[in-house]
């Protein structure tokens, strides 16, 4: 979810996300007469992104949201907490997902984030290697292979093939999103800006009150899935408890320490 400071920025972010993902996100703002219906439609859909102007920060519960791009006008702690509450949550002991917040590097936001971290309670994480998954709509347990929830009919998101349309008037061919030129006519896909979420400048972060830098994040992205898998498969309750105590970056730091000690 993107929370934008005004309609112009919201429209720009929606266009940018379409360029990056090949899929048009849901866009809602106060000038739309059907904004509430659009939010409800997003809740029931498999769309990845919704872009809003402070319309989803309070009182709207979309359980599958796990990423927030926070670009607000207001810098109050209340508005910050309301926005974080849309993605930073736990669905219970069977929830092993992570939430991510991308925000400006304002000192006041970092202070708010630290307060939220200090207030968060740790939960016991169960072995996620079992062949089931929890429906984000009705919270019932389903087989991992289910395309839709057998209890409420919710359609689980599937990996999507991403395309972009050649905008040349006589073409309109669908191309894989990563291509620089149209497969059919050779038209170059040019942009008047260069921006990607993957390569956005990261100035560090806060994870359970532990400061992490870019090197920590990159190493965690490379190794943490294997580390978590090995810990869960160990079957040792004391070792598995580590997962609920440390964020992914801390697990990688622990690996670094153990590697050094074993030399």
Q: What does the pLDDT look like over 26-58, one tens digit per residue?
A: 999 888 888 888 888 888 888 899 999 866 655
Q: pTM to 2 decimals? A: 0.53
One domain, residues 87 and 195: no
pLDDT digits (tens, 9 = 90+) for 83-119: 888 888 766 666 667 788 888 878 888 888 888 877 7
Mean predicted confidence (pLDDT) in 73-82: 83
Q: Which residues of 129-147 are buried (b: 16+ CB within 10 A; e: fewer)?
A: eeeebbbbbeeeebeeeee
**How many domains does the chain divide into?**
4
- 3-state DSSP call for residue 159? coil
Q: Which of 119, 146, 174 is the last residue of a domain?
A: 119
pLDDT at 177 over 80: no
E strand intervals along the chain: 2-3, 26-28, 50-52, 67-70, 100-102, 132-134, 141-143, 163-165, 174-176, 205-207, 210-212
pLDDT tens digit string along 184-194?
A: 898 887 655 44
How buried is residue 249: exposed, middle or buried, by Cβ count under 10 Å (0-12/13-18/19+)? Answer: buried
Using pLDDT thresholds of 50, 70 and 90, give the confidence band for residue 25: very high
Pair (37, 74) in one structural domain: yes
Residue 174 structural domain = 162-200
Assess whether 194 and 237 both reside in one domain: no
| 189-209 tens-digit pLDDT | 765 544 444 444 455 555 555
3-class SS of residue 21 = helix
Residue-level pLDDT at 49: 93
Residue 124 domain flag? no
């Amino acid at each position: 979810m993107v929370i934008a400071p005004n309609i112009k920025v919201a429209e720009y972010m929606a266009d940018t996300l379409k360029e990056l993902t090949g899929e048009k996100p849901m866009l809602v703002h106060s000038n739309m007469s059907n904004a509430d219906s659009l939010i409800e439609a997003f809740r029931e859909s498999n769309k990845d992104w919704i872009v809003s102007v402070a319309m989803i920060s309070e009182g709207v519960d979309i359980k599958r949201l796990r990423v927030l791009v926070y670009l607000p006008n207001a810098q109050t702690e209340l508005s910050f907490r309301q926005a974080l509450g849309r993605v930073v949550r736990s669905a219970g002991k069977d929830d092993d997902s992570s939430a991510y917040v991308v925000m400006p590097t304002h000192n006041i936001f970092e202070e708010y984030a630290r307060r939220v971290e200090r207030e968060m309670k740790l939960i016991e994480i169960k072995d996620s290697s079992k062949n089931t998954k929890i429906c984000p709509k009705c919270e019932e347990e389903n087989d991992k292979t289910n395309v839709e929830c057998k209890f409420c009919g919710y359609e689980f998101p599937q990996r999507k093939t991403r395309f972009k349309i050649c905008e040349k008037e006589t073409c309109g061919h669908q191309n894989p999103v990563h291509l620089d030129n149209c497969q059919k006519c050779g038209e170059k896909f040019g942009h008047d800006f260069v921006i990607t979420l993957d390569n956005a400048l990261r100035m560090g972060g806060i994870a359970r009150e532990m400061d992490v830098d870019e090197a920590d994040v990159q190493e965690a992205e490379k190794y943490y899935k294997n580390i978590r898998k090995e810990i869960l498969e160990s079957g040792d309750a004391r070792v598995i408890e580590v997962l609920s105590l440390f964020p992914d970056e801390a697990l990688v730091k622990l690996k670094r320490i153990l590697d050094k000690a074993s030399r």
